[in-house]
Amino acid sequence: MTRRPVVKINLDATGEPRRRPDDLAAEEPLEIRVRKEPLAVTMRTPGQDIDLAMGFLLSEGVIRSAADVVTAQLCAGTDTPNTYNVVDIVLGADVPPPVTDPSRNFYTTSSCGVCGKASIDAVRTKSPFDVSADPLTVPAATLAALPDRLRAAQRTFDRTGGLHAAGLFTADGELVVLREDVGRHNAVDKVIGWALREGRLPLKGHLLLVSGRASFELTQKAWMAGLPMLAAVSAPSTLAAELADEAGMTLVGFLRGQSMNVYTSPQRVTV
């Protein structure tokens, strides 16, 4: 976070506008390099950058396990003063290098995720995990309680109001890990990268809750991590629902209060 002076104007209150400090969520570029070659740039909130990079590589199908990575280190980059906004990944000798061509442009932003890919087929990375066979079931009442648990754990959001969150939960509603970021996809990558380094993949018997909408890309990332359920407090997209249906993943949207919409594989949500 950083602090900036602002002029506070409140039309519902009496008195003149006043100056006050305000906390802003940090947003800086992170360059991900593989074998010292640039692969991707994402606008993210600094923190857990190694997890972000490894989660990104896994969800893009560049790596399949933590064993594919020899070293992952935060580098100084070329900025003055050094901002350490570069992560350099060295892959094992038997791991094929990532494909980089004009149809697979990995430039990303904090708002939309991976952009510039030529077609949906180019981003439909196949997961090595069969989530359709996962026997996970979650009571609807447990699901309904998760957004409040996620929100209660968002420490930085309380200060800035400007971060997305992704939380990994067990079937009984226990929060395993939470990550915040200005980018929805970055928050998810940080969770997946953490699970990858901890040797927890595939994430059988777990569900992922995101604080915004459920996009195609977030659904793909969940599938690549072996998650049988993705829940969102907002709406899913058509492609997210199609991909979840293809994967055999349960997709829950509009998880608010005591209601929710279950778009695919509803047998995992019990009433």
Active centre residues (catalytic)? 112
CA 42/CA 33 separation, integer angstroms: 12
28 CB-side CA count, 13 A = 17
Torsional sign, CA 217, 257, 1, 111: positive
Residue 87 CA, chain-centre distance (Å), reads 17
CA 106/CA 219 separation, integer angstroms: 18
Name every residue whose Cβ is closer than 8 Å to that of residue 38 and which is 6 or more positions away in sequence: 31, 32
Number of residues assigned to the chain: 271
Question: Which segments of 117-270 does DSSP mark as H helices, in order?
Answer: 120-123, 140-152, 155-160, 184-197, 216-224, 238-247
- Cite the beta strand spans of the chain per DSSP E: 2-8, 18-24, 28-34, 37-44, 69-75, 86-91, 108-109, 113-114, 138-139, 164-170, 175-181, 206-210, 229-232, 250-256, 259-264, 269-270
- C-alpha closest to that of 192 among 78, 83, 52, 72: 52
